[in-house]
């Protein structure tokens, strides 16, 4: 089990969020990212520019994904990515993202399928969360 601190984006305690660094990769390309662990999100969400940086080609992704809320106005497609954090596990995990054309969308780790691959315990009052791989 690995322990991570809540991270502030503006230096203020009320904005502390459970953000996790991961290395995402497709083929030979990889990208260091930091995403929000969001238990209320039905799916993982990948912003458009991150998918492009990984070498994904929009027109070859043929599985549409419907998003809601502020992201509902943008097209999204399923994209399979390998994800790795050496503190959690010694192996990469296959995550499926809703790759959205929204440039300013946050990177979100959601129920499908981040929380199917990892067990997470939140200790917000203490300022940390713990993650363990299901295997």
Confidence of residue 135 (pLDDT cuts 50, 70, 90): low
Q: What is the pLDDT of residue 117?
A: 96
Please, are residues 65 and 98 in contact by the beta-carbon 8 Å criterion?
A: yes
Q: What is the pTM of this model?
A: 0.94
Could you read off the pLDDT of 68-95 as tens digits, one per residue?
A: 999 999 999 999 999 999 999 999 999 9
Q: What is the pLDDT of residue 71?
A: 95
**CATH code for 2-9+18-133?**
2.40.70.10
Residue 97 has pLDDT above 70, yes or no: yes
Could you read off the pLDDT of 3-60 as tens digits, one per residue?
A: 999 998 887 777 899 999 999 999 999 999 999 999 999 999 999 999 999 999 999 9
Cα(104)–Cα(124) distance, integer angstroms: 26
- Please state, for a pLDDT cut of 90, what percent of the chain lies above it: 92
**Cβ-based neighbour number of residue 78 at 10 Å:** 15
């Amino acid at each position: 089990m690995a322990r991570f601190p809540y991270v502030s984006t503006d230096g203020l305690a009320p904005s502390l969020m459970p953000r996790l660094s991961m290395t995402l990769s497709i083929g030979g390309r990889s990208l260091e990212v930091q995403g929000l662990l969001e238990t209320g999100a039905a799916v993982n969400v990948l912003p458009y520019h991150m998918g492009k940086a990984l070498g994904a080609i929009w027109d070859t992704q043929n599985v549409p994904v419907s998003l809601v809320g502020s992201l509902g106005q943008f097209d999204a497609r399923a994209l399979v990515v390998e994800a790795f954090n050496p503190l959690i596990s010694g192996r990469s995990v296959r995550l499926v993202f809703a790759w959205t054309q929204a440039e300013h969308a946050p990177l979100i780790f959601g129920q499908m399928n981040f929380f199917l691959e990892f067990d997470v315990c939140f200790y917000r009052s203490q300022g940390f969360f713990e993650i363990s791989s299901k295997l």
